[in-house]
C-alpha cells in the first residue's frame, strides 16, 4: 500500500467511523415546514411555513413532493451554486417506495441515490453526501429528507378522519423537508466559515424485540445508544467533547431510555443530550404527546435551528444522530418486532 | 489542491460517471432463488434453488428476508473473509420500508445503508459499495438486493388468490436475492484475478409520462437509454467497447423501446444488448409474458450468470444497467406517472 492509499485508509477509524481528511462543508441549508411546526418553538428558524397541508397540490403525498422540491430549490438558491454543478442528490422519505422524494426531485435532473433508513435517513444522506465529496467524486451534492403528518398517518396508522385517540407514548410526524448543500473542501480551501462534517459513524440495526408501534422511542433508543457509544469509542472522546448530542425523534419516552442505556455503559450524556422531537413542538401546549418524529423532524431541526446555532457560534461541535424505526404495516401486522437504526454525524464550526 | 486531491477529483469524468483509480474487486457472489427461477434457463448458475416460496418461514415477506440472509451468508462464506472485516452493507428491496432487507440483515450486526431505487437498486448498491472501498473507507463491503414474487404481487398488484389475468406486457417478479462482496484494491494489489468495477454512472429520474403499471418496461426504458447514453459519452466509448450491455428488467417490450431510443441518439446497441428479465425465464414456456423483473432479477442474473461469464473469460467487459420503475400503489392510485431510474456499472475481467 503506497502512502496515498495509507492516508485514505486511515480515514476509517475504529469499528464504524470515518474521520474526513477534508471535512465537507454545509454551504447552505433550507427548511420548509407545515402549519403545526410553524406554531412551535422553532418557528422563527424555518425558511418557509406553509399553512396548506397539501402545499397547493391535490394530495398530502403530492404536497410532500412539493415541499421536497421547495427545500432543494431553496438550498440551491441560497448557496449561489449553479444547479449544473451539483452532481448527486442523496434523498429519501417515509412513504412506501419513496414517492415523496421521487416526485419532488425528478424535475431537477440531477443523478440520484434513493435512501431509506426510516427517520434516520437524514443521517444516512449526510453521511453518504460527505463521503462522496470528501473522496473527490463531486464538488457539490444535495442531501434531503422529508415527512408529512397526513401522509404518514394514512400509511402507518389510521385514516385521520377516524379521529383516533393516540397514546401518550406516541409521536407526531413532522410535516417538513430539510435540504443541505454539501461541498468539498481541500487543505488550501478548508471553508472554515461554514459548518463542516468532520466524521460519520454508521449504525447497525438493533432489535430489542419491542413490538409497540405507538412507542417508537423505545424501539429506536437502543440503536441510538449503540451508535453514540461506538462513535465515542471510535473517536476516543467523552460526551463533553460535544456541546450537544442531538437525537432525531426519540421523544420524551425514548430519550429517557437512551440516557439510561448509555449510563449502563459508563457514558453520561444527560447534560449534552437534546432531541429534535422534543424541541420542535411545545408538546404540552400543542398536544403532540411524546414529541415530533419523521424523516423531516431531524432534517428541519438541523437545517433550521442546529446549523443556526453552529453558524452563530453558540455551539462549536455537535453530534447529530437521527433515529429510525424499521417497520412497515405489513411487518407489523405479521407480528414482527420493530428494530431501530441510527446514524451519527459530527458537525463542527471551528474557524 | 495538492496532487493527492487532484488525482482523486479526476476520477469524476463527464457529467455522471466516476472512473475508479483502484477498481474494486467482486471477491465473491451468491444467488438464492425460488422454484420458478430454478426451472428457468439460468438454473445451473444459481447457488441455491428453494422450492418453498416462504423459504421455511411463515410468510412471503419473512421468506424474502431469509433469502437475503442466505445470500449474504453465502457470499461471506465463499469469500473466506471474516464477517468482522466487512465494514458496511448496502442493501434494499421492493417492499415498503425495506422490510425484506431489514429482517434479513439485522442479525449480521454490520453497519447498514438502506437503499431504494426500485429494481435499479442493485446498480445503486454496487455503485455506492465501489465508491466506498475505492475511497479507502473500507476494505470489504457487501451489496445485496432481493425481491419475491408473492410479496411483490401482494404489495403492488392483486392478491395471488384472485388468479388475476395478466396482460402480455406485464413482467413476473423474480424471487431471488443476489449478494456481492466488494473489496478494495491498490496499485500493488490490483486483484486482477477477480471481476472489477471500473466505473459507475449514476442515473437521473426520467419521466416520459407513462401511467401503465402493467407495462413497466415502457416506464423504465427511457431512464435506461438516458444513463447508457451518458455512460458512453462520459467514457467516450462506443457500444462495441462492451461485450454485453445488460439491462435489468425491461423485458421484451421495454428492450425494443430502449434500442430505438438509443438509435435515435446515434448509438446502436442491438448487437450487445441483453436483458436479465428476458434471460432468466423461458418466457414462452414458463408463461412469464414480457420477462422477469424485480430487485432480485438483475441481482441474481449478475451473481449467477454474468459474473460467471466474466470469470471464465467468455466476456471481458460488460455494462450492467439495472432499471427501476418509481411508483407505489398510492402514487399510482392518485394518478401519478411512473418515472424510471437506472444506474450503470462497468464490470471488467481483464487480467
pLDDT category, B167, cuts 50, 70, 90?
confident
Alpha-carbon distance A131 to nearest alpha carbon in chain B (angstroms): 8
d(CA B45, CA B308): 8
From A59, A97, A135, residue closest to B328, measured CB to CB: A97
Task: Give the pLDDT confidence score for residue A10 in this predicted structure.
Answer: 63
Are B97 and A92 inside 8 Å of each other by CB? no
Alpha-carbon distance B314 to nearest alpha carbon in chain A (angstroms): 32
What confidence tens digit (pLDDT) does each residue in A288-302 have? 988 999 999 999 999
Kindly report the length of chain B: 351
Are A136 and B16 inside 8 Å of each other by CB? no
Closest CA to B96 of A250, A328, A186, A18: A328
Task: Give the pLDDT confidence score for residue B162 in this predicted structure.
Answer: 82
**How many inter-chain contacts (A to B, CB under 8 Å) are there?**
205
Alpha-carbon distance B136 to nearest alpha carbon in chain A (angstroms): 5
Are A330 and B203 inside 8 Å of each other by CB? no
Closest CA to B296 of B120, B128, B50, B142: B120
Distance between alpha carbon B19 and the CA centroid of its chain, in Å? 19
Alpha-carbon distance B46 to nearest alpha carbon in chain A (angstroms): 28
Average pLDDT over residues A181-190: 96
**Fold agreement between B3-183 and B196-348:** yes
Residues of B in contact with A4 (CB under 8 A): 4, 7
CATH of A196-348, one of 3.40.50.300, 3.40.50.1000, 3.10.520.10, 3.40.47.40: 3.40.47.40
Architecture of the B3-183 domain: 3-Layer(aba) Sandwich (3.40)
Residues of A in contact with B133 (CB under 8 A): none
Task: Give the pLDDT confidence score for residue B68 in this predicted structure.
Answer: 98
Residues of A in contact with B124 (CB under 8 A): 113-114
Are A99 and B62 inside 8 Å of each other by CB? no
pLDDT category, A219, cuts 50, 70, 90?
very high
Residue B5 has pLDDT above 70, yes or no: no
**Concatenated DSSP letters for A50-118?**
ES-TTTTSSSHHHHHHHHHHHHHHHHHHHHT--GGGEEEEEEEESSGGGHHHHHHHGGG---EEEB-BT
From B2, B9, B114, residue closest to A115, measured CB to CB: B114
Residue A315 has pLDDT above 80, yes or no: yes
What confidence tens digit (pLDDT) does each residue in A82-124 have? 999 999 999 999 999 999 999 999 999 999 999 999 999 999 9
Average pLDDT over residues A250-267: 96
Pick the residue from chain B with its C-alpha nearest to A230: B111
Pick the residue from chain A with its C-alpha nearest to B139: A9
pLDDT category, B165, cuts 50, 70, 90?
confident
Average pLDDT over residues A330-344: 95
Alpha-carbon distance B52 to nearest alpha carbon in chain A (angstroms): 19
Residue B72 has pLDDT above 70, yes or no: yes
d(CA B179, CA B100): 14
- The grid cell for A187 is 487543505
**Mutate which of A21, A205, A329 to disrupt the B interface (most B C-beta within 10 Å)?**
A205
Residue A53 has pLDDT above 60, yes or no: yes
d(CA A33, CA A175): 6
Closest CA to B251 of B166, B160, B144: B166
The complex scores an ipTM of: 0.96
Task: Give the pLDDT confidence score for residue B10 in this predicted structure.
Answer: 64
Residue B176 has pLDDT above 60, yes or no: yes
Are A98 and B326 inside 8 Å of each other by CB? yes
- Give the start-to-end residue ranges of the domains of chain B: 3-183, 196-348
Amino acid at each position: 500500500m503506497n502512502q496515498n492509499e495509507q492516508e485514505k485508509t486511515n480515514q476509517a477509524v475504529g469499528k464504524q467511523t470515518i474521520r474526513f481528511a477534508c471535512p465537507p462543508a454545509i454551504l447552505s441549508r433550507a427548511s420548509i415546514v407545515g402549519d403545526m411546526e410553524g406554531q412551535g418553538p422553532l418557528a422563527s428558524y424555518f425558511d418557509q411555513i406553509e399553512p396548506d397541508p397539501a402545499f397547493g397540490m391535490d394530495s398530502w403525498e403530492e404536497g410532500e413532493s412539493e415541499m421536497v422540491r421547495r427545500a432543494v430549490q431553496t438550498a440551491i438558491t441560497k448557496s449561489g451554486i449553479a444547479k449544473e454543478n451539483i452532481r448527486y442528490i442523496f434523498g429519501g422519505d417515509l412513504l412506501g417506495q419513496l414517492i415523496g422524494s421521487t416526485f419532488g426531485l425528478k424535475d431537477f435532473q440531477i443523478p440520484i441515490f434513493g435512501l431509506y433508513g426510516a427517520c434516520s435517513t437524514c443521517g444516512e444522506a449526510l453521511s453518504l453526501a460527505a463521503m462522496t465529496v470528501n473522496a473527490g467524486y463531486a464538488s457539490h451534492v444535495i442531501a434531503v429528507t422529508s415527512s408529512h403528518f397526513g401522509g404518514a398517518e394514512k400509511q402507518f396508522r389510521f385514516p385521520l378522519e377516524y379521529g383516533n385517540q393516540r397514546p401518550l407514548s406516541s409521536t407526531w410526524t413532522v410535516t417538513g423537508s430539510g435540504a443541505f448543500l454539501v461541498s468539498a473542501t481541500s487543505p488550501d480551501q478548508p471553508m472554515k466559515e461554514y459548518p463542516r462534517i468532520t466524521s460519520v459513524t454508521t449504525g447497525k440495526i438493533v432489535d430489542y424485540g419491542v413490538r409497540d408501534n405507538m412507542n417508537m422511542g423505545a424501539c429506536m433508543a437502543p440503536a441510538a445508544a449503540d451508535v453514540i457509544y461506538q462513535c465515542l469509542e471510535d473517536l476516543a472522546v467523552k460526551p463533553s467533547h460535544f456541546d450537544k448530542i442531538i437525537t432525531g425523534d426519540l421523544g420524551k419516552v425514548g430519550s429517557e431510555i437512551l440516557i439510561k442505556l448509555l449510563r449502563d455503559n459508563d457514558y453520561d450524556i444527560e447534560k449534552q443530550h437534546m432531541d429534535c422531537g422534543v424541541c420542535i413542538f411545545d408538546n404540552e401546549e400543542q398536544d403532540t404527546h411524546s414529541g415530533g418524529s419523521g424523516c423531516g423532524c431531524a432534517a428541519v431541526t438541523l437545517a433550521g435551528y442546529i446549523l443556526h446555532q453552529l453558524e452563530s457560534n453558540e455551539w462549536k461541535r455537535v453530534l447529530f444522530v437521527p433515529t429510525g424505526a424499521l417497520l412497515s404495516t405489513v411487518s407489523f401486522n405479521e407480528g414482527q418486532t420493530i428494530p431501530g437504526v441510527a446514524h451519527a454525524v459530527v458537525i463542527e464550526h471551528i474557524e
